Amino acid sequence: PRWTGEAEAGFRARAKAGALEMLDRVQISDPRRVAERYPHQLSGGMQQRVSIAMALARNPALLILDEPTTGLDVTVEAEVLDLVEKLRREFSTSILFISHNLAIVARICERVGVLYAGRLIEQGPTAAIFDTPRHPYTVGLLRCLPRGGRVKSQGPLDTIPGLPPAPGALLGGCTFAERCLLADDRCHAEEPPLFDLDGRHSRCYYHEKTADMPRSVAGEFEASPVIEDAAPILKASNLSKTFSFSGHRLHALRDVSFDLRSGETLGLVGESGSGKTTLARTLLGLTAPDDSSRFEFEGHALAPRARERSLDDVKAIQIVFQNPDSALNRSHTVRRLVGRAIGRLARATGAERSRRLMELMNAVRLADRYLGARPRQLSGGLKQRVAIARAFAGDPRIVVCDEPTSALDVSVQAAILNLLASLQARHRVSYILISHDLGVVRYLSDRIAVLYLGRLMQIGRADRVFEGPHHPYTEALRRASPTLEGDPAESLPAIAGQPPDLARPIAGCAFAPRCAYAMAICTRDDPQMRASGARHLVACFHDGPLTGNTPAGATRR
């Protein structure tokens, strides 16, 4: 029946009230203001909260969360996970949680199912699956992670040999047999049943031998030590970037200074909006910094814009993007994608171009048969290898790696990290690694820079930053990052509050409104960088270990 104006108005009012109630229940501050915004005006964490509110609007019995935290920084990730757990109890909703982040799965799930090539190969209680896996594939996944503070100087990460079977492939035996280090003729001939192992299940004939499964490492390398007293190949001085819009001045970067040595990896960490990508874009010349900024590369000034740089400078600084799907032209073959970069950057033609192409394919361990393939025909890991090959086409001195493994599962992630470490050892290339995954950052980085609201809070050797954080923000990031070593029952502490608006800078330390150690001076004066050991700088008034207890003169926030 046709509605009257009064009935329609009543319906819209109830719908709006219900929407505001749901936004409030997913812990969105000021729901009325957020409800009037478009998705592109919200942060990644806010977008995810809105998506969860939409899914819960009809009070579902089952909520499917498909990679709900991929691309989110660790503090927003902790908030989203805490929200999911709270809503699960409040709505009595069952949750099917899909993720390749095993540390998150270990914390949020009571039971785990492991899929491979469309088959459920293992399932059971979470603690049992992670402590004593009973399928070789599960064992392989857990071994791929850079656990226990592992770093590249300790050697390559474990990998899973081979590739998954193509979708629709007809397999006579176990789907994992071609890649399994325990497989024999029986595994190739007969598919194993799902064995019942006292409350858990495994689709493997040799489920009792998984603890003794040999290790697998694809490729070997020996990380070359960084020469500490060598002259840096890159120096950034007072790097700043200010954007102007709607009458506001937004300070995306504020007086950031750092250097980079040959063969060194500098990890950049911080929440979304901290300025990591802006820093990378200014280094590449894609975004011009403010006039006060200076880049010096191999002893000479680096022009602020890429179009003003010499060919040598352009090919010396390259990038591997987070998403190879959008970085690679889908209509071009691998041969053309990499070959075009060789032609433009190395100025190679004919036989020399073909020789260089094959060298790059071998370097990134891509078989010749992929030369005629297009990106849509490749897996995520293979596409990322193509992107890396293209970045190395001009023998770069510096490569910016912008979340190079965030969209990859842990087995492919390990292979890509090994590849990057191997290329670095072979070519003495330097990396600037941007990532929200602190395990990845720790494995590949020699030094780490911590950014917050465009300001450099701490920079120093990776072991000093991770094992003895001297800035409250660094400590908060570390504690909010999930690991398999932590207690799954212990909640991840998210950082209180939200970052201030960049268009409305505050007095004093930018982190003071959210800092548990803030003192009166923190809200008045902006802390300057101070030395805390060799090549270790911290911008903080608090001087001492961060124990979690509030220091004298501080106020808990």
Query: pLDDT tens-digit profile of 150-200?
Result: 999 999 999 998 888 877 788 889 999 999 999 999 999 999 999 999 999
Q: How many CB atoms lie within 10 A of CB 101?
A: 20
Distance of CA 34 to the CA centre of its chain: 27
Q: For the CA atoms of 335, 338, 340, 341, what is the dihedral angle to 10 degrees?
A: -170
What whole-number distance in Å separates Cα of residue 423 and Cα of residue 401? 13
Range among 72-76, 186-190, 410-414 rated most confident: 186-190
Average the pLDDT over 508-518 and give the result.
92
Least-confidence region, from 174-183, 214-223, 465-474:
214-223
Binned at pLDDT 50, 70 and 90, residue 24 comes out as confident
Query: Which residues, listed in sequence order, are joined to residue 449 by a DSSP beta bridge?
Result: 268, 459
Range among 48-52, 299-303, 494-498 rated most confident: 299-303
List of residues 6+ apart from 307 with CB closer than 8 A: 285
For residue 258, which of 237, 272, 229 has the smallest C-alpha distance?
237
Estimate the crossing angle of helix 136-144 against helix 410-427, to 10 degrees: 40
In this prediction the pTM is: 0.88
Estimate the crossing angle of helix 380-391 against helix 410-427, to 10 degrees: 20
For residue 459, which of 264, 267, 330, 207 has the smallest C-alpha distance?
267
Q: Tell me whether residue 259 is exposed, middle or buried, using C-beta atoms within 10 angstroms of its C-beta: 0 to 12, 13 to 18, 19 or more.
A: middle
What whole-number distance in Å separates Cα of residue 201 and Cα of residue 112? 11
What whole-number distance in Å separates Cα of residue 123 and Cα of residue 136? 13
H-type alpha helices, 225-287: 276-284
* Residue labelled with tokens 């036989």: 351
Instruction: Please give the mean pLDDT across all residues of the chain.
Output: 88
